[in-house]
Amino acid sequence: MKIAVIGTGYVGLVTGAVFSDWGHTVVCCDIVKEKIDLLNKGIMPIYEEGLKELVDRNVKEKRLIFTTDVPSSIKEGEIVFIAVGTPSNQSGSADLSAVWAVAKTIGENLNNEKIIVTKSTVPVGTNERVYEIVKENAPKDAKFSCVSNPEFLREGTSIYDANNTDRVVLGSNNKEALEKVASLYAHLNAPIVKCDFRSAELIKYASNAFLATKISFINEIARICHSAMADVKVVSEGMGLDKRVGRAFLNAGLGYGGSCFPKDVEALYRTSSDHEYDFRLLRGVMDVNERQKYFYMEQILKHYRGNLSGKTFACLGLAFKNNTGDTRKSVAIEIIKMLRGEGAKIRVYDPAAMENAKKILGNDVIYYAKSSKDALENSDALCILTEWKEFSEVDPALIASLIKDKVVFDGRNLLDPETVRGAGLAYFGIGRR
């Protein structure tokens, strides 16, 4: 099948690469020439394990092409995927300007019957408007249909997720279009939810909001553990063994971040308001998440009696989560800014997010280390801010030999408190004993 994917951001690039690996001919297009030039040189604009190998293989097999020629890509494709960004605007709702622009371009370039699939995360009612915009700009006799197909990819494991999905969600008022898009995923043997536009759109937001709720819930439990001298890791384990609860997303820490959860939770809350409903639970989820970083900072300030001036912190982690270089809405970045605001000096290290962090934090004041050990050297204390596996494997004895004040602030609960204390270090986690 000939597929056009408009947008080569995280979702578009991974989607296009995976579809080509499934044997389809895919053209990934974008209006940002610099991005396409990089891709044509084999340079990935994002960090994602296995992505470069996947792209290189399918480019070599001539199943995957990158171009800035959006009109030609639309004309040649049987199915056209919209995979552009939908960031939050100042009101908290999704900015759909890129989606509307693509829908207009598709309409202007319809030359035969096509299926237009929205892969971007969009609020309720978006696909209906996409259909209207395409129709307004298309030739009078043009035949097309629209399908909502929200993505459920996790950064860091997106290629695995695409090939081992829990479910495929498809929404449309056209049964023939639903079946054709469903055929793309048939080999996965995963459940396919076929429904209307609005239900499909809401499934995506509801799923992310529920996962964010689990994170905020366990962070509240961690606060109770902190005061009651219990251990949130043990509590999480005990809760997760209940099949009705499950262990996933019950890791207490600094709160959720990234390009999805914050904007999707906020967009769903805005949707509820637009429909005259006050989603109070979601308000609480956002409030808990916002407060969590201050709880972490309170522990640091309390330990240093409110004065961080002149202190140097080794900060391990810049990305919003492990296995990605994405620093969008990264709590680690926010913590570093707060430490700097208190007069602290910073030495940072992250396996994948250094360059993206420099764009936010700049090159002044902060020392960008070459390794975890390099960050620890000449530091007074350690802050663990992202849950990279390699940070959990740092030897506490090494930490104790390098940092002057012998204190660890483990914002991701990666280290074992007893082992750390056994090395002569003070340990502060999130709800740990």
Catalytic residues: 260
HEC per residue, 304-335 = CCCCCCCCEEEEECCCCCCCCCCCCCCHHHHH
Q: Provide the 10 A C-beta neighbour count for residue 32.
A: 13
- The Cα 238–Cα 245 span in angstroms is 10
The neighbouring-strand residues paired with 144 are 114
For the packed helices 261-274 and 280-303, what is the interaxial angle rounded to 10 degrees? 140
Residues 297/335, Cβ–Cβ less than 8 Å: yes
- The Cα 221–Cα 234 span in angstroms is 11
**What's CA 41's distance to the chain center, in Å?**
25
Residues 292/219, Cβ–Cβ less than 8 Å: yes
Assign 24 to helix, strand or coil.
Answer: coil
Assign 171 to helix, strand or coil.
Answer: strand
Structure tokens at 98: 């890129």
Residues 7/152, Cβ–Cβ less than 8 Å: no
